[in-house]
Amino acid sequence: AAYVNAKLVRYSDYLVDLGALRHYQRATSLPATAAANREQVMRKLITDAGVEQLARGQGISVAPAHVHQYLVGLATELGGEQALVKRLRDDYDLNPQQFGQRVVAPHLLREQLMTVASARPEVEDAALAGARRLREQLVSGEITFADAATGYSQDVVARVGGDLGYVPMDELDDVLGPQAATVVRELGLGSVSEVLKSSDGILLYQVNERLAEALLEQKPLKREDLDRALQIQKEKRGSLSRLLV
């Protein structure tokens, strides 16, 4: 266990988050090292503890009803409660209650804290400056997008390196919003977007892969790969990552 400004960070919490991260990496075949996983999980727990202390000082909290409402929204998007339970079990080995406590509640707390802070211009200016410095590190290769998202992002997908998965290009406006969608469509593979300011906060995006291009690069190229690539090219799907500062 450890203390962050008198907030106890328990070893049991560390083990649960580490297990969820490892499970997600196995489910998605993401490469990772044990040392990097340990560092990411501890960084996340310490950040969560710091945010909780800061929010308490501002009189900000997240009611269980708000967490439940968020989970209901996720279930609706996925096609029902059973679909949500299966997705959380398959991807993270967590049940909805654990996911709500460990992922949704910290995310909602950050959102509320940012809403209060954004009313102060000096706070927003500092956040923009920090996002630009982080982008410089990403572009120079000093830090990877996944590590930056895990360590600094306030997004709900931060714990999985900001990975948004594969998104059809014709759905980008609905998923990201028109401003971000326009920027993402113009991004090259592996490129990091300019710092974007939106109603959700300050954002950075990266295009990880466009499926058709990845398939066509395979050697030897099989007929079924070509057929699939052509279908995907028609659908224009791409893999994206997002970082919310």
How far is 230 from 2, CA to CA, in rounded Å? 52
Q: 196: which residues sit within 8 A by CB, 6+ positions away?
A: 179, 180, 183, 202, 203, 204, 205
C-beta separation of 160 from 238 below 8 A: no
pLDDT of residue 202: 85
Region 5-10: mean pLDDT is 53
Higher pLDDT, residue 34 or 202? 202
In this predicted structure, what is the pLDDT of residue 40? Answer: 67
**Which residues fall within 8 angstroms of residue 58, CB to CB, at 6 or more apart?**
113, 116
pLDDT of residue 106: 86
Specify whether the CB–CB gap between 137 and 143 falls below 8 A: yes
* Per-residue model confidence (pLDDT) at position 244: 66
CA distance 239 to 213: 12
Strand partners, 165: 240
Question: Can you give the pLDDT at residue 126?
Answer: 77
Q: pLDDT tens across 190-223, in order?
A: 889 999 887 667 889 988 876 544 433 444 545 5
pLDDT > 70 in the chain, percent = 67
SS3 letters for the chain? CEEECCEEECHHHHHHHHHHHHHHHHHHCCCCCHHHHHHHHHHHHHHHHHHHHHHHHCCCCCCHHHHHHHHHHHHHHHCCHHHHHHHHHHHHCCCHHHHHHHHHHHHHHHHHHHHHHHCCHHHHHHHHHHHHHHHHHHHHCCCCHHHHHHHHCCCCCHHHCCEEEEEEHHHHHHHHCHHHHHHHHHCCCCCECCCEEECCEEEEEEEEEEHHHHHHCCCCCCHHHHHHHHHHHHHCEEEEEEEEC
Nearest Cα residue to 164 out of 5, 13, 28, 48: 28
Query: Each residue of 93-144: pLDDT tens digit?
Result: 889 999 898 888 888 888 787 777 666 677 677 778 888 998 999 999 998 8
The average pLDDT across 168-174 equals 76
Tell me which amino acid residue 126 is: A
pLDDT at res. 176: 82
Spatial contact of 240 and 164, defined as CB atoms under 8 Å apart: yes
Q: Highest mean pLDDT: which of 7-11, 20-24, 41-45, 196-200?
A: 196-200
